[in-house]
Structure 1
Amino acid sequence: MRKGTCFACLLLLSGALAGQSRFVRFDHLNLDDGLSQGSVYAILQDRMGFLWFGTQDGLNKYDGYDFTVYRHDKYDSGSISDNCIYSLFEDRDGYLWIGTLSGGLNRFDPRTRRFKSFRYAANDPRGLTSNLVTSIWQDRKGTVWVGTDNGLNRLERDGFVSYFKGGPSYAGKRVNCIYEDSKGTLWVGTTTGLYRYDTLTASFVAHKLSAKKTNTDDHIMALHESGAGVLYIGTHGDGLFAGTMVSGELPEFRQIVLEGPELDEVSSIVSDPEGNLWIGFHEEGLVRWSPQTGEQLHLRANPVQFTSLSNDRVSSLAFDSFGNLWVGTLNGINKLNLINRKFSFYQNRPGIQGDIANSVFAIAKDPEGNIWTGTRGGLFRMDKKGNIREYLHGTSASRRADAIRSIYCVSNASHYTLWIGTEQGTLETLDPTTGKFRSFVVDPKWRENPIYVIRTDPNGTFWLGTLEGLYSVETTTMRIRHHDWQDSARAGTRRKEIRSIEVDNDGTLWIGTRGAGLLHYDPHRDAFRSFVHNPADSFSISSNVIASISIDAKENVLWIGTASGFNRFVPAEGRFYSYTERDGLPNDVVYGVLPDNDGVLWLSTNNGIVRFDPKSETFRRYDASDGLQGTEFNAGAYHKSVDGELFFGGINGYNSFYPNAIRDNALKPDVVLTGFKVFNEDYDLPKAPEYTDTIRLSHRDDVFSFEFSALHLTAPQKNQYAYKLEGFDQNWTSTQRRFATYTNLDPGKYTFRVKASNNDGVWNDTGLTVVILIEPPFWSTWWFYAICSLVVFTLIFAAYRMRIARIYP
Structure 2
Amino acid sequence: FEDSKRNIWVGTSTGLTCLKAIGNGKYKFTNFFSSTSATGLSGNSIKTIVEDKHGRMWIGTEHEGISIYDPQQNAFSHLKQSVNSSEGLSNNFIRKIIISKDGRFWIGTMNGLNIYDPKTNAFTVYKHDDENRKSISDNSVKDIYEDEQGSIWIGTNFGGINVTHKNAVPFQVDKHSKYRNSISNNIISVIAGLDNTHVLSGTEGSGLDFIDTRTGTVRNFQHNPSNAASIGSNNIKAIFRDNKGQIWIGLYEGGLELFDLKSGSFKHFKPNPNDSTSVSHGYVSSITQDRQGRLWIGTSSKGINLYDYEKQNFTRISSTSKGLRISNDYIRTMLGDSKGNLWVGTAVGLSIMRKGSNQFERFYKYKDGLTSDYINCILEDRSGNIWVGSHRGGLSKYLVKERKFITYTTKNGLTSDNVVGMAQDDEGNLWISTDRGLSKFDIHQRNFKNYYVSDGLPTNEFSYNAAYKASDGTLYFGSYNGLVSFKPKAISINKNAPSILFT
TM-score normalised according to structure 2 size: 0.77
Instruction: Verify the 8 A CA contact 1:455 1:463 in the aligned structure 2.
Output: yes
Q: Quickly say closer, same or farther: Cα 1:421–1:107, change in 2 above 3 A.
A: farther
Label 1:147 to 1:640 Cα distance change in 2 as closer, same or farther (>3 A).
closer
Q: CA separation of 1:581/1:238 partners in 2, compared to 1, >3 Å: closer, same or farther? A: farther
Distance in 1, matches of 2:107 and 2:309, equals 55
Number of residue pairs matched?
474
- One-letter amino acid matched to 2:218: I
Partner deviation per Cα, 1:505-542 (whole Å, 9 max, x = no partner): 2311111112x1111123633201111324xx5x5311
**AA partner of residue 391 (structure 2):** A
Give, in whole Å, the separation in 2 of the partners of 1:482 and 1:144.
79
Label 1:335 to 1:386 Cα distance change in 2 as closer, same or farther (>3 A).
closer
Q: Contact conserved, 2:375 with 2:388, CA < 8 A, in 1?
A: yes
Q: Against the structure 1 CA distance between its residues 651 and 121, is the aligned structure 2 distance closer, same or farther, given a 3 Å change threshold? A: closer
Q: Which segments of 5 or more consecutive residues in structure 1 lack a partner in the other structure?
A: 1-87, 123-127, 150-173, 181-185, 187-196, 206-219, 224-232, 243-255, 257-262, 670-711, 718-809
Instruction: Specify the alignment match of 2:37 in structure 1.
Output: none
Aligned counterpart for 2:303 among listed residues 469, 472, 479 = 469
Summarize the Cα distance change of 1:281–1:92 in structure 2 as closer, same or farther, 3 Å threshold. Answer: closer
Structure 2 CA distance, aligned partners of 1:320 and 1:234?
29
- CA RMSD after TM alignment: 4.7
Would you say the 8 A contact 1:342–1:626 is kept in 2? no
Residues 295-352 of structure 1: CA distance to partner in whole angstroms, max 9, x if unpaired? 98644799xx9x9967652134454563311224347764333436212222354689
Report the alpha carbon displacement of residue 379 of structure 1 after superposing the two structures with TM: 0.7
Does residue 363 (structure 1) correspond to residue 191 (structure 2)? The answer is: yes
Q: Deviations over 1:572-629 (max 9, x none)?
A: 2133222222222111111101112222100011112110112222111122343323
Q: Which residue of 1 aligns with 2:174?
A: 346
Counterpart of 1:372? Answer: 200
Q: Does 1:627 align with 2:460?
A: no
Aligned to 2:11: 99
| Structure 1 partner of 2:356 | 524
Partner-residue secondary structure (3-state), 1:452: strand
1:313 matches 2:140: yes
Deviation digits for residues 129-172 of structure 1, max 9, x if unmatched? 999544545577757687888xxxxxxxxxxxxxxxxxxxxxxx
C-alpha distance 121-506 of structure 1, shift in aligned 2 (>3 A): closer
The yes-or-no answer on 1:498 pairing with 2:331 is: yes
- Cα distance in 1 for residues equivalent to 2:8 and 2:75: 27
1:612 counterpart residue number: 441
After TM superposition, give the deviation of residue 389 of structure 1 in Å: 0.9
Tell me which residue corresponds to 1:659. 488
Question: Do 2:127 and 2:135's aligned partners in 1 also have CA atoms closer than 8 Å?
Answer: no
Letter in 2 for 1:627: G
Distance 2:351 2:190 in 1: 22
Is residue 417–residue 432 contact of structure 1 (8 Å, CA) maintained in 2? no
Aligned to 2:165: 337
Q: Does 1:559 align with 2:387?
A: yes
Q: Distance in 1 between matches of 2:172 and 2:18?
A: 44
In structure 1, what is the Cα distance between the partners aligned to 2:442 and 2:283? Answer: 34
Q: Deviations over 1:692-713 (max 9, x none)?
A: xxxxxxxxxxxxxxxxxxxx64
Letter in 1 for 2:375: I
> Which amino acid is 2:11 matched to?
G
Pair 1:322-2:149 in alignment: yes
**Matching residue within 566, 573, 593 for 2:402:** 573
2:314 corresponds to: 480
Q: Greater CA deviation, 608-617 or 403-412?
A: 403-412
Structure 1's 552 and 271: CA in aligned 2 closer, same or farther, altered over 3 A?
same
AA of the residue aligned to 2:3: D
CA separation of 1:311 and 1:108: change in aligned 2, threshold 3 A: farther
Distance 1:425 1:501 in 2: 20
> Where does the alignment leave 5 or more consecutive residues of structure 2 unmatched?
34-40
CA contact (8 A) 1:363 1:410 kept: yes
Moved more, 523-532 or 462-471: 523-532
**CA drift at 1:636:** 2.0
- Distance (Å, rounded) in 1 between the aligned partners of 2:421 and 2:379: 9
Residue equivalent to 1:241: 87
Return the alpha-carbon distance in structure 2 between the equivalents of residues 490 and 148 of structure 1: 76
Please point out which of 261, 272, 287 is paired with 1:454.
Answer: 287
**Shift in Å, 1:498:** 1.2
Q: Secondary structure at the match of 2:411?
A: helix
Task: Give the match's secondary structure for 1:660.
Answer: helix
Secondary structure of 1:610's partner? strand
Give the TM-score normalised by structure 1. 0.50
Instruction: Note the C-alpha offset of 1:645.
Output: 2.2
The equivalent of 1:179 in structure 2 is: 68
What is the CA–CA distance in structure 2 between the aligned matches of 1:404 and 1:482, rounded to whole Å?
23
* AA partner of residue 405 (structure 2): F
**Residue equivalent to 1:708:** none
Distance 1:660 1:139 in 2: 36
State which drifts further: 307-316 or 589-598.
Answer: 307-316
Contact 1:280 1:314 in 2 (8 A): yes
CA separation of 1:395 and 1:570: change in aligned 2, threshold 3 A? farther
Q: Distance in 2 between matches of 1:599 and 1:313?
A: 47
Pair member with larger Rg: 1
2:335 pairs with 1:507: no
1:479: how far off?
2.8
Identity of aligned residues (%): 27
* Structure with more helix by fraction: 1
Structure 1 contact 276–288 (Cα < 8 Å) conserved:
yes
Shift of 1:388: 1.0
Q: What's 2:36 paired with? A: none
